[in-house]
Structure 1
Amino acid sequence: MKKTPLNQIHKDMGAKMTDFGGWEMPVEYVGIIEEHKAVRKKCGLFDVSHMGEILVRGKNAFKSLQHIITNDLNKLEKGKILYTPICKEDGGIIDDLLVYCLQEDQYLLVVNASNIEKDFKWINKHLLEETTAENLSEQYAMLALQGPDSKKILTELTDIDLNSIDYYRFRQAKVAGVNMIVSRTGYTGELGYELYFDPEAAEKMWKELMEAGSDYGLQACGLGARDTLRLEKMYALYGNDIDESTNPFEARLSWTVSINKEEFIGKNRLSEIKKDCCQRKLTPFIIQGRGVARHGYPVYVGEEKIGEVTSGSYSPTLETGIGLAYINNDYTEAGSQIEIKVRRRKIKAEVVKGPFV
């Protein structure tokens, strides 16, 4: 398995480790529920150095990316970030990623760890002349500081005014003397920052942040809490909720498809899908009573199978089971009563509007 620069620190802290897409990553330190609540109420620190970074630059960097992504790159300017899928010709989602506008002809793409090589090949295939793509994933470590107290903690280590960084904005800055990108983004739905810097500084940054956060109850957090936090906010997880067999419209990501911009990969098919809408949609539900739905569990109304769970977990905030499922469009209205088949029994659930928190 691949290891982040902080692998040994996680083990020294007693983290439970697991294989996550070929990476040895911490699942939890003191418990998923405690770590989850720390992020909602105070602050948590995540090692997300497994994420990928691809630099696209050159004379036709803008035109190339505008053709590759479904969102509109015209929304960007230096210091701004754009969330977007990249799709195949049939509308299937190759990946969802962030685009950072470093300057007019330079963009940093932050992609899912499991898709780095696939994305890199796809992007290279569709670049115009005088434009290059570089896989810089091994040149970046990445930490996510997330929670209501994240600004207070980070302020103690940097001389920039964090109030100057709005949501989905970033700045080049020094934190604890280390040059980095400070990004007002995250995967938890809380106030937070994602930090990109040289891997050689990873241990120093982890220790400096943990020390600065000691008076604020900063908690080291693993991928377990990251998953429950994102699920409560209905943030899609690639490989679970979205993949090459799903499209942005059924995944409730229609806002990421700028259908009226110039030609882009998948535009024709996505235009057709938009007209007819979808036979199914990614739908949030809450379990009635005990039980937890997991990825792959079938969804029923009576004896009719109407869908399948993509993500499911216990919600530490709501103290009950929650989940997402692709469900037949006839049953996606809030208040619809459904059942999830858990092994040999069915548990009752109710469709809700979402997000859960």
Structure 2
Amino acid sequence: MGKKTPLFEVYAESGAKTIDFGGWDLPVQFSGIKEEHEAVRTRAGIFDVSHMGEIEVTGPETLEFLQYVMTNDVKKVKDGRCQYTAVCYETGGTVDDLVWYKRSDESALLVVNAANEAKDFEWLLKHSKDFNVQVSNVSSHYAQIALQGPLANQIAQRLSETDLKEIRFFSFKEGVTFANASVLISRTGYTGEDGFEIYCNPNDASHIWKTCLSEGEEEGIQPCGLGARDTLRFEATLPLYGQELSSNISPVEAGIGFAVKTDVDSRFIGKDVLARQKEDGPLRKSVGIEMIDKGIPRHGYAVSHQGMDIGEVTSGTQSPTLGKNIGLALIDQKYASEGTEVEVQIRKKTVRAKVVQTPFYKKA
């Protein structure tokens, strides 16, 4: 049996269908992926993301250490703000992509991918030896609930006396009373919509989950599983570790070069390789593809150009919002310009597709 989040018991009441995800028993869907996806795009949805890992870095050299292990420019982040970044190997391949929360110059909370939690913690510990910092895995201290969608703000606001409008995109506040519990709340998410991620004591998770669902009833809030989380992040072209990013795929290749600041006066791990990729252009590039012929591109399917192998699909689905069969593919950069026709190998059939602009979806 996999690990269970503090909300596992609540799923049964909501009729969730669970699957094993990176060693966790998590809901893949409640009412249905398309229905949940549409709820988040048009109204509001709530996700249990308690499986995510939390790692704390504290001490006088917190910022110097983070600048050394992360690709983004740590120094420009103000207290109370979050930043998206990557942690890389010397080769430029990705250890993980993550969001970190700056509490102060001497305290940071890193939110990492569930499947990478142990590996990330080891990596940070190993590289922290020359810095005056303490690295702690505090994942068990937190449950995490994501409330996402255009109506998320009005539902959340009724559950808190804090003016949530003051929490701007990629900002957070701690010690906020929400549904009568003390939480850290940030205006972040993985859906391409407005919304919040709520970090709470695991003992408060069930109460917060149920309160959000009953409070958002008239707005048509839906409990959502990993299936909709994946189609939503995919349409917004947000990378998934293990697909768009991996130890063999750099952030520059994956299209998140904006989180790699090679012009900053700092020596972060992997900088030389990533600086070269940014300067010369990477040999491979992540692109959006849209199917011309029938068929859905799936992770791992080969992509070719006039019969020559040029890469593979990293993610793909029938987009619930656009109603099109689309994918993300990591291909030879010579064929990465918009409009280029490529072929996708779907089982034994070669199917035509074309390179299109991303993100596939942007909220109005």
For residue 271 of structure 2, the aligned residue among 255, 267, 272 is 267
Match of 2:228 in 1: 225
1:287-306 aligned at under 5 Å gives the runs: 287-306=291-310
Q: SS where residue 71 of structure 2 aligns?
A: coil
For residue 175 of structure 1, the aligned residue among 173, 178, 188 is 178
Contact between 1:289 and 1:320, CA under 8 Å: does it hold in 2?
no
Match of 2:331 in 1: 327
The one-letter code matched in structure 1 to 2:205 is A
Q: Are residues 1:342 and 2:346 paired?
A: yes
Rounded to whole Å, the distance in 2 between the matches of 1:280 and 1:78 is 36
Contact between 2:87 and 2:95, CA under 8 Å: does it hold in 1?
yes
Contact between 2:56 and 2:135, CA under 8 Å: does it hold in 1?
yes
Q: Percent identity?
A: 44
Moved more, 140-149 or 261-270: 261-270
1:100 is displaced (CA, Å) by 0.2
Q: SS where residue 100 of structure 1 aligns?
A: strand
The one-letter code matched in structure 2 to 1:181 is L
Q: Number of paired residues?
A: 357
The one-letter code matched in structure 1 to 2:114 is A
Match of 1:283 in 2: 287
Assess, with a 3 A threshold, how the Cα gap between structure 1 residues 343 and 77 changes in structure 2: closer, same or farther.
same
Listed one character per residue, the Cα deviations across residues 179-230 of structure 1 (whole Å, up to 9, x for unaligned) are: 1111000000101100001000011000110011001000000000000001
1:157 is displaced (CA, Å) by 0.3
Q: SS where residue 348 of structure 1 aligns?
A: strand
Contact between 2:56 and 2:107, CA under 8 Å: does it hold in 1?
yes
Rounded to whole Å, the distance in 2 between the matches of 1:113 and 1:129 is 26
Contact between 1:141 and 1:196, CA under 8 Å: does it hold in 2?
yes
The one-letter code matched in structure 2 to 1:103 is S
Rounded to whole Å, the distance in 1 between the matches of 2:279 and 2:258 is 15
Q: Are residues 1:130 and 2:150 paired?
A: no
Q: Which runs of 5+ in 1 are unaligned?
A: none
TM (normalized to structure 1)?
0.98
1:254 is displaced (CA, Å) by 1.2
Rounded to whole Å, the distance in 2 between the matches of 1:196 and 1:163 is 18
Listed one character per residue, the Cα deviations across residues 213-254 of structure 1 (whole Å, up to 9, x for unaligned) are: 001000000000000001101100000110110112111111
Match of 1:311 in 2: 315
Listed one character per residue, the Cα deviations across residues 72-122 of structure 1 (whole Å, up to 9, x for unaligned) are: 111211100010000011111100001100122000000000000100011
Q: Are residues 1:189 and 2:192 paired?
A: yes
The one-letter code matched in structure 2 to 1:245 is N
The one-letter code matched in structure 2 to 1:333 is S
TM (normalized to structure 2)?
0.96
Moved more, 275-284 or 92-101: 275-284
Rounded to whole Å, the distance in 2 between the matches of 1:204 and 1:289 is 48
The one-letter code matched in structure 2 to 1:270 is L
1:307 is displaced (CA, Å) by 1.0
Listed one character per residue, the Cα deviations across residues 146-198 of structure 1 (whole Å, up to 9, x for unaligned) are: 00000000011000111101110011211011111110000001011000010
Q: SS where residue 218 of structure 2 aligns?
A: helix
Rounded to whole Å, the distance in 1 between the matches of 2:143 and 2:250 is 31
Rounded to whole Å, the distance in 2 between the matches of 1:268 and 1:129 is 22
1:290 is displaced (CA, Å) by 2.7
Q: SS where residue 360 of structure 2 aligns?
A: coil
The one-letter code matched in structure 2 to 1:240 is Q
Rounded to whole Å, the distance in 2 between the matches of 1:126 and 1:240 is 26
Rounded to whole Å, the distance in 2 between the matches of 1:82 and 1:270 is 19
For residue 146 of structure 1, the aligned residue among 145, 148, 168 is 148
Rounded to whole Å, the distance in 1 between the matches of 2:131 and 2:354 is 52
Listed one character per residue, the Cα deviations across residues 288-319 of structure 1 (whole Å, up to 9, x for unaligned) are: 24321111000112211111001011100111
For residue 166 of structure 1, the aligned residue among 165, 168, 172 is 168
Q: Which runs of 5+ in 2 are unaligned?
A: none
The one-letter code matched in structure 2 to 1:118 is K
The runs of at least 4 aligned residues of structure 1 exceeding 4 Å deviation read none
CA RMSD of aligned residues (A): 0.9
